[in-house]
Amino acid sequence: MEKATEPGKNEKEALLREVQRLLDSGIYGAVTRTKTIAVVGNGGAGGNILQRLHRMGIKSMKNIETIAINSDERVLDLLKDVDKRVLIGKNLYEHPEGAHGRTDLARKMIDAARESLEVLINPYPVLVLIGALGGGTGSELMVEMSKMGVEKGKLVIALPIMPFSAETGRRALAKRVMKRLESSGAIIAPLDNDMLMKDERIRKLSMAEAFETLDRIIFRKIREVQD
């Protein structure tokens, strides 16, 4: 089972080489040693993963601060362990209840919160973005936060999660979003639910156990960046 939790060797090495190259280039300035990395959970799935990463011990890593961004006030309030919780859409709706899969509505809420989001990421030279593609808020936040970070000179590492092929509509939307994400200038290390389930040992697990495997992969990717 331990083997199944490891990211592909080539993918891991490529990610580490690119991160090291960018840091060595000096274009991101001197990385201080105090909370330099913001791990950002985008949308409902991203926030839930962030909460589970806290239970796995993400705060035992040095120089990490966690941020959850969502347009659903009720869901965001459940993330008790996250360092910062950011609600978007508050200036448009009294009690935002999410984008309900609508990318146009998500973009509207992100645009209204853009100035606040730019201020939010200012202190961090490195951003690690987590979110599932194929929905509304998470998809749009992954793209816009990546673009925003790159434009502000941040080192941005995006970990987008692709839905299962059986989720036909979400998968089609996720592919379109991925193309936009790839043009953002961020380092992209995608996580595909289909690829995860190709492992026979993982297929024998419950769905909760399979997603725990995905959480462990994300945890290790963050540790690779942090180290």
The yes or no reply on domain 32-226 and CATH 3.40.50.1440 is yes
pLDDT for residue 179 is more than 50: yes
* Domain locations along the chain: 32-226
The phi, psi pair for 157, rounded to 5°, reads: -120, 115
Q: What's the mean per-residue pLDDT of the chain?
A: 86
Residue 36 phi/psi, 5-degree rounding, is -80, -25
Task: Convert the pLDDT of each residue in 42-79 to its tens digit.
Answer: 999 999 999 999 999 999 998 899 999 999 999 999 99
Q: Which residue has 């009720």 as its token pair?
A: 74
Q: Which two tokens stand for residue 8?
A: 């592909």
What's the token pair of residue 104? Answer: 């146009």
DSSP 192-213: EHHHHTTSHHHHTS-HHHHHHH
- The residue type at 66: T
Contact 148, 178 (CB under 8 A): no
Confidence of residue 195 (pLDDT cuts 50, 70, 90): confident
Cα–Cα dist 164/202, whole Å: 14
Report the predicted TM-score, pTM, of the whole model to 2 decimal places: 0.83
